[in-house]
Structure 1
C-alpha cells in the first residue's frame, strides 16, 4: 500500500495510461480524482472506472473538463479538496497526437495540440502545486512526457515540442517547488498501445518494425506505466526530483 490514504489527481484518466495509473494508485491505497474531457463517449468509461476503484475499497470522483482549459486544474484541485481533503499526488497525463505532416499543418491542429498537451498542463500543475504549498506537507507531481521529448518525428512536429516542454517543466518545477517538499518528475513512455496511436499501429509493417526496434520484443501497454508512476508518487522516491524515467522497453538506447 505505497499510497495509503493519499489523494491522487490524474488527468486524461478515462482510458489508456491514465486509467491504468488510476487503478494502480487505488490498489496501492489511494483515493482518485479522475480528470477527463467531459465528452459523453468518455462518461461511460469513467463510470466503469469508478466502479472498479470502489471494488478495490477506495473512492473516486470524476471531473469532466477539457485539458486545454486554463481553469481545469482549479476544478480538479477543488474536487480533491472537497472529497478527499487535499492533493498529495498530481499526475498530468492528458494529451493528444493527431499525426500530420509539417508543411501543411493546419494552424488549429497545432494550437489544439499545444493547448492540450502543454498550456493546460502548465496551469493544472500550477493549481496542484499551490494547493500542496498551502497544505504544507509536500507532494509529488508527475508528468507523462514521451520518448518523443528526446527524438524527432516527421509527423509529430506539433507534438514533440509539447512533450519536450513537459519534461522541461518538471525540471524547472523541481527547482521552484523543492523548498516546499514538492517533488516533480517525468515518465517518458516509448511506443504504448493506446487510442492515441491506434491508427498508426494498424499498419502491420510499421507495427513489426516498432516491435523489432524494442529490445524487449514487444510494444508497451498502459499497465507498464502504472508501476513507474506509483513509484515516483510514493515515499520510495522521496529523494527523487527533477528526474526523467524512460519506460520504453529499451527502444531509445537501441541505435543499431
Structure 2
C-alpha cells in the first residue's frame, strides 16, 4: 500500500498581491503569505503605512514590496496591474463600512461602499484573472468577505448588500474560470479586533451582543484569519472554488 502525501501549504516561488495591506486583516494576510514563502506585493492607497508593513516583513527575512493601488478607481487599478507581472495568489482585503439605519443611508455612502466592496472587488478579480488565464498557470483569488454576506445585521443593510453581492459574484466567476484553473473563494470573518473596529469594541452593549452571537464565546483576532487564507492560497485547497470559508465562531450556524 502506498499512502498519499498531504499537499503542501507552502507558497515558495509564488507572487501574491494583498490589497488593503496597510493594517488590520490585510496586514495579517500579507504576513501569512510571506511566512509561507511567497513574495507579497502589499497594496493600498497610502504607501507610507504600507512601507511599515513591508519593512517588518523584510526584517523577518521574508520577501515583500509596496504598491500604491486604489480599488475604488477601476481604470487606474487596471493600468497599474497591467504594468505588474502576473500574480499566483490575490487576497482582496480592501473594504469600506458606513453603517446606518436603512432609512438614513445617503446616496453618497451607498456609492462609496459599493464602489470599494463590490465594484472594486469585481474589477480587481477580472484584472488579475485575465493575466492568470493568459499565463495558463491558474491561480487563487481570495476575497475577505464577511459573515454579513450570509446573514443580516441591524444598521448594516448597505454593508450586507455589498457582501451578499460579493458572494454571488465569486460563485459566477468560479463557473467561468474553473476550466482555466483560476480559483476564487471568500473568507467570511465575524467581528475581528482591528484599528477599524475599535469603536465597536468600545461599546459594552455591542460587545455583549457580539459575544452572545458567537458560539465560541469570543471575538475574532487577525490571527484567526491567517490559516484560512494560507489554505485557500495553497495547493491544499486545489479543488476548492466558488466557496465561502466561514471564520465566524459559529455565528451563522443558527
TM-score (norm 1): 0.91
Aligned to 1:237: 237
Q: What 5-or-longer segments of structure 2 have no aligned partner?
A: 1-8
Structure-1 residue corresponding to 2:5: none
How do residues 93-104 of structure 1 correspond to structure 2 at under 5 angstroms?
93-104=93-104
* Number of residues of Structure 1 aligned to a counterpart in Structure 2: 246
**Uncovered stretches (5+) of structure 1, i.e. residues with no partner:** none
SS in 2 for 1:35: strand
CA distance in 2, matches of 1:78, 1:61: 17
- Correspondence 1:4 to 2:15: no
1:111-122 alignment runs, 5 A limit:
111-122=111-122
Give the conservation status (yes or no) of the 8 Å contact 2:17–2:43: yes
1:69-218 equivalence runs, <5 A: 69-75=73-79, 77-78=81-82, 80-81=84-85, 86-218=86-218
Partner of 2:34: 26
* TM-score scaled by length of structure 2: 0.91
CA distance in structure 2 between the aligned counterparts of 1:76 and 1:27, rounded to whole angstroms: 26
Runs (4+) of structure 1 exceeding 6 A deviation are none
1:37 equivalenced with 2:45 (yes/no): yes
In structure 1, distance between residues paired with 2:81 and 2:252: 35
Corresponding residue SS for 1:158:
helix
User: Which residue is equivalent to 1:62?
Assistant: 66
**d(CA) in 2 for partners of 1:36 and 1:76?**
12
- CA-CA distance at 1:223 after TM superposition: 1.6
Q: State the shift of 1:231 in Å.
A: 0.3
Aligned-residue offset at 1:154:
2.5
Contact 2:69–2:77 (Cα < 8 Å) also in 1: no
Structure 1 Cα separation of the partners of residues 243 and 69 of structure 2: 29
> Are the equivalent residues in 2 in contact too, given 1:46–1:62 (CA < 8 A)?
yes
Distance 1:54 1:78 in 2: 25
Question: How far apart are residue 110 of structure 1 and its match?
Answer: 0.7
